[in-house]
Every structure is written in C-alpha cells, then in structure tokens.
Chain A
C-alpha cells in the first residue's frame, strides 16, 4: 500500500503544483520545459570609458575590458535587479534603497574606470542576441555615470 501512496505523492506534487513552490523533497521536475524563443534581458550599454566615447555603444558583455567582470551569475543578478529597481522607481514605486544598493554593486564591477553607461532592457531571440544581432525591442532607462 505504501508504494502507491508515495508514487501518488510524487506524481501529484509533480503535476499539481504548477506555478507554486515545490514541496521538499517532492518537485515538479519541470526544468527546461519552456523554450526561451524570446528573452528579456537587463543589461548596460557602454557610451564612454574614462572620457573616451565607445563607438557604437556596445552591450557591456561585448566590451572586452569589462566582459570578464560582468560574466557569471552574480553580476547578472546585480544588473537584473538594478534594471528592475530603476524601472520601478521611474514608475513611482518606493524601491530607492534597492536601486542604490544594486547600482553600487554594478558600478563596482567597472573597477576604477569612470564609465558612462545606459541601463537598457533588450528583448529578442537569444541566439540572435548572442550573435551580436540587434534586439527586437530596446527600452532605455537613461544614461548614468559611475560615482
């Protein structure tokens, strides 16, 4: 009798918790179930470094001198939170502390360089974006200079 009960729990939680938190030690087992044909990505466009304009204002991941510093999950999350908090503040929500904290974390990644950058949200096919293609849509939240 115990086998059907445990099996029902495994299957029930797996199929019945869609959109909710998993119930440890049971899970949805839904990794990679959706194909990201379109990706929303918060990132930075680099306009100038130490007073010198950067041609084409590339995305930060395409600027060799900053590519390593911005690689990895932690920098991605900082930029992502920075962009979301900035958008929220511009929309009148009270997320100023979060914005200041994440801006500080992100700007620390530039080291001692004075950088003029724009916070942007790009949307497009991930393969095309990775290949340096133009995004389908880009939201520019303004240009800032490192403090």
Chain B
C-alpha cells in the first residue's frame, strides 16, 4: 500500500513540479536570484522602517487605546520607551538583515520589529492589508537554511523558502477569489444579484459614493456605463481564482503578476484604493521570479497559462516559428522530434515521445502546418486543410481548448524540433 501511495505521490509531484525540472536539475542560477531577492526584500523593509520613523513622535504623544496582540506588552513599560523600542527594532532589524541576510539573529529581530511596528500602526487605525504579505515573507525568511553554498541540496532548500513566499502571495489572491465566489452564492440566495451581474462593480461604487466617500477618477465612467462593470469583476475573479495554479507554472508567473498589478491599478483608478506595497511585493517576487532565469520563449510562457495557454500558444507559434516545432510543457520538454509530412498519424514510439504523447498528426495548410500532439486519439484528425485557409486554421484551433496538445508552425515540412 505504502509503495502505491509513494508511487502516486512521486508521480503527482513529478507532474506538478514539471515546470521546475530545469531548476531542480541545476538550481544555481535560481539560487543566485533568490539570494538577491531576499536582500532586496529586507532593503525594501528598511525603507518602510525609515518612512515609519516620522510617525514616532505622534505615537509617543498619545498611546493607542486598543493595541493589537503583538503590542500588548507595551503597556507594561513607559510608553515612550516602548514606542522607541518598536521603531528602533524595526529599523535596526531590517537594516541588519539587508546587510547580513545570512544572519538568523538579524532575520528574527527584523521580523519582530516588523510585526510590532506594523501592529502599532494598525492599533491606531484600521488594519491595512497591504503590508501583510511583506510581513509573512519576513516570517518565512527566518527559516532560510544554513549550509554550504556549493551544495545543490542547500540551494534547493533555500529555493523552497522562495517558493513558499510565492505560494503565500498567490494564495491570498486565490483566497480573495474564493471569498467572492462564496459571497456570490450568498447573494444568489438572498436577492439574485451577484458579482456576475452586469452592474456589480457599479453597485459597489454607487454605495461608496452614497456614503460620501470619493471614488477613483474612473468611477463616474464606470457608473455611467454600469453594464461594463460586471465583466471587470468577473475578470478579476478569474485571475484571482487561478492565482495559485501558477505556483506550478513558473513561466506564467510574470504574466499573472502583470495581471495582478493591472487589477490593482484598475481598483486604484476606479475605487481610489491603492495597494502600493502589495504591488511592490508582486513585482519583486513574481515578476522577478527566481524560477525563470535567462531568456524564455514567448511560446513556453504563454503555453503555461492555465486553460487558454495552449490555444494562445498555438497562435503565437503560427506567427513566429521558423519551420521548427518545439515541444513544450509535459509533452517532451525541448526534445526534438520528426513528424512525417502530410496528414498522417505517426508512430510516436519512433518519435521518442512516449509516455508524454500517444499520437502525432500533421496538417498541411499551404503557408503553415499544424502539428497535433495528444494523449488520446485525435478526435478531429480527419479535418483536412485546404490551401492555406486561415479560417480553416482557426477551426482547427478551436478544439485545442478541449485537447490542449496542439502546436502550429509555419511551413514545418518534415522536421519538428527544439
């Protein structure tokens, strides 16, 4: 039994971590990038700490009435001493960690300072979530491993923490999506008006305006064209729900990061709610992802996008290919394969693609060829192309949503390869 479970587990992780196969084989470059990101993270925190120092006089002048849990100890010491301790710990700790990120002591002090200083700030006002991910990143960074930099095992352990920071960032977006889905269910039961309604975002804006709070500069436009607002909400929901999936698709992380930042920009312009610090950590840890180092092809990046990737990637390849087809993702990595010309089912065993591909079919379209790779029998292999018709090509692309094993290359006559 345990052997079966072990095999399933191994197979599961092999599949889930397929996008990391290069990193796991040679973690050197990703490790170097992670080391830089860790140092940058503490440097950013030191900047936040510096910006917080100017609040200290105000805090010292008036104690907070309702302290958050990391700050309850502050009532046991003179208030001025407590405030100075908190801001001092915050600045000194984060600066020390930025200078000596390998020091466990510096990282622990930095986290303690971060937790206390942010807690003190929120004890005076409502809790702002924009810095939560930075704080959780600092928590994870305490557990960076100690070891020999030449040891690949050490580098992989280090990368595990970097991966954890990405996981936490992405998980919060997925959480937000799940909460919206839950809320939509409740709304459906109560009055049938959910975020899937065309005017859902406009309703939020109208509510805020009726409460006398200024919306963003684009709010009047969205309210006036309220039917446009629902699709924006659904778009945000989609990107949020799928966020955690790109944890296993490293090449798609940058695309999603741009999506998150665009979403925050949109929220800022429409609702005047700006998640500046959140945007920054997305930029640092997802756009600067340590798991995609060096030049990447647009094809591989787009192919890893959940669901729509294979469809979009097919289009990209049909425009930019040079007669060679690269097999990406869980097909055959970047290995080369030859596919006979003309519409034919190839013996994939001879192509060396097993177990990833169970069939390969080539369609000639005159000015382009479509290489169909899949795991099951090609349901539409009998669709023959006629004379380079783009319409025909699009028809062929449609099923790729259901059978996402399609790649297109212009004039790939007899050879397909990386």
Which residues of chain B are near A24, meaning CB under 8 Å?
68-70, 118-119, 122, 127, 132
Which residues of chain A are near B122, meaning CB under 8 Å?
24
Contact with A along B164-179 (1 / 0, CB 8 A): 1001100111011011
A10 to B129 CA separation, bound complex (whole angstroms): 13
Chain B facing A: main interface SS: helix
Q: How far is the CB of B273 from chain A (nearest CB, A)?
A: 8
Pairwise interchain contact B212-A34, C-beta atoms closer than 8 A: no
Contact with A along B197-238 (1 / 0, CB 8 A): 101101110110111111000000001001000000000000
Q: Does B160 contact A (CB under 8 A)?
A: yes
The listed residue (A25, A29, A35, A127) touching B136 by CB distance below 8 A is A25
* Segment of B38-46, B186-194, B399-407 in the binding face: B186-194
Pairwise interchain contact A130-B223, C-beta atoms closer than 8 A: yes
Q: Does B195 contact A (CB under 8 A)?
A: yes
Pairwise interchain contact B68-A75, C-beta atoms closer than 8 A: no
A38 to B212 CA separation, bound complex (whole angstroms): 17
Report the tally of A-B residue pairs with Cβ distances under 8 A.
Answer: 134
A38-B171 contact in complex given A31-B176, A72-B213, A76-B212, C-beta closer than 8 Å: no
Which residues of chain A are near B180, meaning CB under 8 Å?
30, 32-33
Closest A residue to B135 using CB positions: A25
Q: How far is the CB of A130 from chain B (nearest CB, A)?
A: 4
Which residues of chain B are near A41, meaning CB under 8 Å?
210-211
Q: B residues within 8 Å of A by Cβ?
A: 68-70, 115, 118-119, 122, 127, 129, 131-132, 135-136, 139-140, 143, 160-161, 163-164, 167-168, 171-173, 175-176, 178-180, 182-184, 186-187, 191, 193-195, 197, 199-200, 202-204, 206-207, 209-214, 223, 226
15 A-B pairs (CB sep. < 8 Å) = A2-B140, A6-B164, A24-B70, A28-B179, A32-B204, A34-B183, A35-B193, A35-B197, A70-B212, A71-B214, A73-B213, A75-B212, A76-B212, A127-B226, A130-B209
